[in-house]
Amino acid sequence: MMLKVAPSVIFLALIFFLTACSIEPVKPWDRDLLAEDKMQLVPDALEETLDAHIYFSKESSFGGAGIGGGGCGCN
């Protein structure tokens, strides 16, 4: 199974670390844009929860963005 996961891991790791090569050490006083609400990884948690519930009940995949939350019968 690890072999099957490997290409994706490598691909994502490449994206991440190639980008990471260009990481700039952003100083605290330059973090104004990053501090805006709309720059949150999850800008609307309620919407994210409702969406996760819809897609969990209609598709066979789940999780990834975070952990936790209850299940459902979901007909």
Q: How far is the CB of 64 from another protein (least distance, A)?
A: 3
**Number of residues forming the site for another protein (CB under 8 A):** 57
Q: Is 35 in the site for another protein (CB under 8 A)?
A: yes
CA trace torsion 24, 28, 29, 32 (10° rounding): 80
Contacts of 56 by beta carbon, 8 Å cutoff, 6+ apart: 62, 72, 74
Task: Note whether 3 binds another protein by CB under 8 A.
Answer: no
In whole angstroms, what is the distance from residue 27 CA to residue 72 CA?
45
Q: Applying CB under 8 A, which residues contact another protein?
A: 1, 4-5, 8-9, 12-13, 15-16, 19-20, 22-26, 28-41, 43-47, 49-50, 53-55, 58-73, 75
